[in-house]
Structure 1
Amino acid sequence: MNASRIRGLLAAFGLILVAGCTSSGNCDSPYASSPQFKGCLFANPPNPQTPPGAGTWTIWSRFIFASKVGTVPVDAIPVRPITTAQLEALDAQANHVVRLGHSSHLLKLRGKFWLIDPVFGERVSPFSFAGPKRFHAPPLTLQQLPPIEGLILSHDHYDHLDVPTIEYLAQRVQRYFVPLGVKARLVDMGVPAERVQEFDWWQAAAHDGVQLTATPSQHFSGRSLTDRDRTLWASWVIQSGEQRLFYSGDSGYFNGFKTIGERFGGFDLALMENGAYDAYWPAVHMTPEETVQAFQDLRGKVLYSVHNSTFDLAFHTWQDPLNRLADLSAAKGIELATPEIGEVLTVGQPRTNKRWWAGLK
């Protein structure tokens, strides 16, 4: 098997796969009381509106044998390097979001630094030598990160939970906030157990002035062929001062977005998944059209595009998520944020959005 086929196979590994095995019967689990835990595994609520996807072997075969066109950029992705001094200089009374790439973000929330799904590794794969490779370097290195107060994880897939990143940060983060079952993953990577707090959907906690709530998403979990759905997945609501932020994690479209919007009364900024979608797996990732609908359901003020421009994880071109979301947002009068890698967005402050990818191949 040639190198391109191996890369495709490993990309499929990250999907594991969208029609994986289930379990039934009783089991002794600390998560048995969770409404999301059914038949010894975590599960999404039924969603009859989701179109049917392809079967496991159909998806595997496509990743192994189908050709990809335009999924990896030829031109360099623009990156704005950012220094620790620049981060420290950001207004400590405001809330800031720094795009690191894909779904990884560094937040400065009223003077303290937080991370969301940080991935600094070269590949999102169970192997260091093969698998989807990043298109660009992060705008700063792990060593340049300021002290981190909190780290938020949406689920345990390789493009959201990165071993080399967590191993480096293990003792350098004050508190980890994760869905049910993910704590054991972090402890295996060297994180002290007492620093990790697990959440079921709708559970909330406060830490150093920030209010966090784990909210539903429609996805799945797993890091091998044998552990699918052993851990939970989640979206997150982050309230800092008077501002509310939403992070979708990975999710297909479902009515949970409307419920979240109703419960919280809207969001100043919504970081929404926009990439890695496909008709073969419609239940677990959103098309740009669904992303816009989810944002409207959430009652968001600013739509911030994530989950694109860093890794080749599907069959659409790398620009497709950005082009479609930008066109849809313009047509609907939605305020859109598609920051460059390394760009700082200050929540609630006016900014000029630009299509930085325009003209790039």
Structure 2
Amino acid sequence: MKPTRRALLLGSAAAAAAAAAAGGASVYRRGTPAITPERRARIEASPHYQGGEFRPVVPHTPLRAGPDVWKKLLFPKPGYGQPLNPLPAVKTDLKSLPRGRDLLVWFGHSSFYLQLSGHRILIDPVFSRYASPVPFVCRAFRGTEIYSARDLPDEIDVLALTHDHWDHLDYELTREIEPRVRRVVTGLGCGGYYEAWGYPPSKISEEDWDTEVKIDPQLSVWVLPTRHFSGRLLERNQTQYVSFAFTTPERRVFASGDGGYDSRFSDFACRFGGFDLAIIENGQYNPGWHSVHMLPEESARAAEEVGAKEVVPCHNSKYCLSPSPWKEPLERFEAESRGRPYRLLTPRIGEVVEIGAGRSFPAWWKSAL
């Protein structure tokens, strides 16, 4: 996939140049994985690594956007690209949650704390103030920065990473919680970040698409395909982007990661028999790049096709990475979900979602400014 100017926010040559000017050595350490000979051999042996890069099953359409898009994106207007006031949030004491409860807590954007069958799981945890390599682009919305590493439980059974973009992989947080993490599960190549940042290889499971990582008899993490791209600085698509299925004897939870729409959701429904809960990407889209990020109508369709009983939309309400109004992803997803067979759940940041409890959540964004 040919990089576009949008990659300024997620790891392009322009971002790398700016990062170098702002203290390049430190940014380089945060942006480059350790690609050992063994890791390189596994990457190149993957059938999904073709022509020197990872490629999705369904090829991308050409990405495009005009200058007005970039103006809105780089200089988001308060009340439009970002909220005027702090967003409402609830700070749950994660350490006090009984491990036997199957639940989910959203940290904003695509970061989650998940409990399943007694296991504590982090998905794409990011607490950084900026979702970029430099501290002047993509600042977190006010009110969303209520959690820090010290709020996380002392033992994390699984840290699951979908891909290496700055809004999904947080260098400082990742390093700080290493002593608490028992296992990292991610796609090929991404384990190189964890190894470079001090994680022993014995903790890292990096796998190709359609691979089961059995944590123990009560939990499996399936590394699955998505239709996205990767890279934090200059190199593109040298690490694999993935989605996840978390399965226990009682539950099945799907996490879509980022990616454009294709037929994979129906395939996953057939393979896993549907899901009790699906975390679905819904935000930072644009018609000019919708082959790498679904539009809300596609996200709702994907949620139905994957066979979800309950759906939590994400990839919104923390960082401005697209020119759309900040409320629009939730507004459009809510409208498109009417009449569909799943229950739409829209918790505030930090609010507990009990899986299968049937609880409804108010449309909190409608009263936010």
Tell me the TM-score range normalised by the shorter chain. 0.7 to 0.9
The structural deviation recorded for 1:33 is 2.0
- Give the counterpart of 2:104 among 83, 97, 122: 97
Match of 1:77 in 2: 87
Deviations 1:267-303 (A, max 9, x none): 0000000000001111100011000111121111111
Q: Distance in 2 between matches of 1:262 and 1:115?
A: 26
Amino acid at match of 1:13: L
Q: In the superposition, relative to structure 1, how do residues 315 and 211 fare at CA in structure 2: closer, same or farther (>3 Å)? A: same
Structure 1 CA distance for aligned equivalents of residues 246 and 182 of structure 2: 17
Q: Which residue in 2 is equivalent to 1:272?
A: 280
Residue 158 (structure 1) shift: 0.4
Q: 1:294 aligns with which of 275, 289, 302?
A: 302
1:346 matched to 2:358: no
Partner AA of 2:317 in structure 1: S
| Residue 210 to residue 266, structure 1, CA distance change in 2 (3 Å) | same
C-alpha distance in 1, partners of 2:247/2:190? 23
* Cα drift, residue 138 of structure 1: 3.9
Give structure 2 stretches of 5+ with no counterpart: 14-39
Query: Is residue 12 from structure 1 mapped to residue 8 from structure 2 by the alignment?
Result: yes
The secondary structure found in structure 2 opposite 1:134 is coil
- What is the match of residue 106 of structure 1? 113
Residue in structure 2 matching 1:132, options 128, 131, 138: 138
TM-aligned CA deviation for residue 332 of structure 1: 3.1
Q: Which residue of 1 aligns with 2:20?
A: none
Structure-2 separation of matches of 1:344 and 1:110: 16
**Can you list the C-alpha shifts for 1:206-226, whole angstroms capped at 9, x where unaligned?**
1132111111100000001x2
User: Mapping of 1:201-216 within 5 angstroms?
Assistant: 201-208=209-216, 209-216=218-225
Matched residue SS, 2:182: strand
Does the CA contact (< 8 Å) of 2:221 and 2:245 recur in 1? yes
Counterparts of 2:181 and 2:83, CA distance in 1: 33
Give the Cα separation in 2 of the matches to 1:312 and 1:137: 13
1:43 aligns with 55
One of 152, 156, 161 as aligned partner of 1:145 = 152
Q: Does 1:358 align with 2:358?
A: no
- Paired position in structure 2 for 1:232: 240
What is the correspondence of 1:231-270 to structure 2 with a 5 Å cutoff? 231-270=239-278
CA 1:323–1:195: 2 relative to 1, 3 Å: same
Q: In the alignment, residue 81 of structure 1 is paired with which amino acid?
A: K
User: Structure 2 CA distance, aligned partners of 1:299 and 1:312?
Assistant: 30
In 1: Cα distance, 2:257 partner to 2:119 partner: 22
Aligned to 1:171: 179
CA shift in 2, pair 1:198/1:338, >3 Å: same
Aligned identity (percent) is 32
Please provide the CA RMSD for this pair: 2.1
Q: Quick one: distance in 1 between partners of 2:299 and 2:321?
A: 18
Q: Which amino acid aligns with 2:111?
A: S
Give SS of 2:83's match. Answer: coil
The letter of the residue matching 1:242 is E
Q: 1:120 Cα deviation (Å)?
A: 1.1
Q: Distance in 2 between matches of 1:93 and 1:29?
A: 40
Structure 1: give runs of 5+ residues left out of the alignment. 1-8, 18-27
Q: Secondary structure of the equivalent of 1:268?
A: strand
Which residue of the partner structure matches residue 6 of structure 1?
Answer: none
- Distance in structure 1 (CA, Å) of the matches to 2:366 and 2:51: 48
Query: Residue in 1 aligned with 2:231?
Result: 222
TM-score under structure 2 length normalisation: 0.85
Query: AA paired with 2:214?
Result: A
Paired residue for 2:41, among 29, 52, 56?
29
Which stretch of structure 1 is more off in the superposition, 107-116 or 228-237? Answer: 107-116
- In 2, distance between residues paired with 1:191 and 1:137? 28
Q: Which amino acid aligns with 1:325?
A: F
Q: Secondary structure at the match of 2:299?
A: helix
Normalising by structure 1, report the TM-score: 0.87
Name the structure 2 match of 1:115: 122
Deviates more, 1:340-349 or 1:132-141: 132-141
Distance change (3 Å), C-alpha of 1:95 and 1:85: same
Alpha-carbon offset, residue 62 of structure 1: 4.0
